[in-house]
Amino acid sequence: MDFSSINWLAVAASIVASFVIGFIYYHPKVFFNTWWVAQGKSLKEQPKPDPMIWVFTFLASAVEAVFVALFLNTMGAAGLAAGLTAGFLIWLGFVAPTNLVNNLFAGRKWVVFFIEAGNHLLYLLAAGAILASWPK
């Protein structure tokens, strides 16, 4: 693994994309309310803001972006199509199956899986596109 091959500005842009996608995707007018209720929670019991959620979300997004970059560099993938393909394959091969098993064992409804997996898919497509297309 050659960390010197990573475009750190592209990694930073991917982290920002993660937050933008998550903010829009989990907005109450998009999927938050459906996702929240599907977990058996009332819309009246909104989650309490905890700053550590944002810290760990940032760290998780950073780790994902770095490893997508390493994956792309190892593949020699460059360009939008290669980035989108890699993002999709990472999602299909690693993220979706793991998310599916976690949701099945937690007894969650299918809609929870589809919403959560959809968010991860959008982020990995964006990260793949950004990291593979960003000029070196």
Mean pLDDT across the stretch 53-63?
A: 96
Amino acid found at 25: Y
Whether residue 46 is contained in a domain is answered as no
Q: What angle do CA 97, 98, 100 make, to 5 degrees?
A: 65
Q: Which of 52, 87, 71 is nearest to 6 (CA)?
A: 71
The answer to whether residue 34 sits within a structural domain is yes
Average pLDDT score, the chain: 94
Please report whether residue 116 resides in a domain: yes
- 14 or 77, which is more confident? 14
Residue 52's H or E segment, with its range, is: helix 51-75
When divided into structural domains, the chain yields a total of: 1
Whether 86 is in a domain gets the answer yes
- Residue 115 falls within a domain, yes or no? yes
Give the mean model confidence (pLDDT) for residues 116-129: 98
pLDDT tens, position by position, 29-51: 999 999 999 999 988 888 777 99
Is 109 within the bounds of a domain? yes
Cβ neighbours around 99 below 10 Å, total: 19
pLDDT value, residue 33: 95
92 within some domain: yes
Q: Is residue 88 part of a domain?
A: yes
Q: How confident is the model at residue 5 (pLDDT cuts 50, 70, 90)?
A: confident
Contacts of 30 (CB under 8 A, 6+ apart): 24
For 83, the domain range is 3-41+51-133
